[in-house]
Amino acid sequence: MKKLTIFLIILTSAIYSCRSNELKGNLRYDFTTSGALGEDCFQVIISASPDAELKTMAEQRESAFIKAKDSISAETEKQLLIYYSSSKSLRPDDIPEETVNSLKKKSGLYSKKGIVEQEYYQLDNTVILVYRIFNNGIKNEILNN
């Protein structure tokens, strides 16, 4: 019985530690901020317009969505560098080259870890994707580069 109790405690702890990160309070509903949302989440806002020659709403939305999904990596890199420079009160051109290279490398890894939290369309069928990257300590990893 004692071994079973110990096993259940360890199992419960392991399962609890593997739970997904959740944003607390109003941050959960913040779909406009580009940058860190708390210590463990970085949010990227991606927008893409449909191809002009497409006629139907479905074709336009599909086109815009594919463009947005294809630009996740580039947008993550861009918005991560903007977040870093604004947090450090630097112009983007003033970031040291080794820091830029390190942030670009990290953004490539981060962009593969995220999820599309929200997807919505404007009247012209432009898509807006809210892409959230959950990683323990991501804010500090970015700022302490």
Q: What is the pLDDT of residues 95-141, one digit of tens each?
A: 999 999 999 999 999 999 999 999 999 999 999 999 999 999 999 99
CB-based contact 74:85 (threshold 8 Å): no
CB-based contact 131:46 (threshold 8 Å): yes
Q: Is 128 helix (H, G, I), strand (E, B) or coil?
A: strand
Q: Which domain holds residue 86?
A: 2-143
CB-based contact 145:110 (threshold 8 Å): no
Residue with token string 């259940």: 8
Q: How many structural domains does the chain have?
A: 1
pLDDT tens-digit map of 26-67: 888 888 999 999 999 999 999 999 998 999 999 999 999 999
Please report the pLDDT score of residue 116 as a whole number.
96
Pair of tokens at residue 49: 């317009």
Please report the pLDDT score of residue 107 as a whole number.
93
Q: Please state whether beta strands 115-121 and 35-36 pair in parallel, antiparallel, or not at all (unpaired).
A: unpaired
pLDDT tens-digit map of 9-25: 666 665 555 555 577 77
Pair of tokens at residue 109: 């890894």
The residue type found at 66 is I
Give the chain's length: 145
Please report the pLDDT score of residue 52 as a whole number.
87
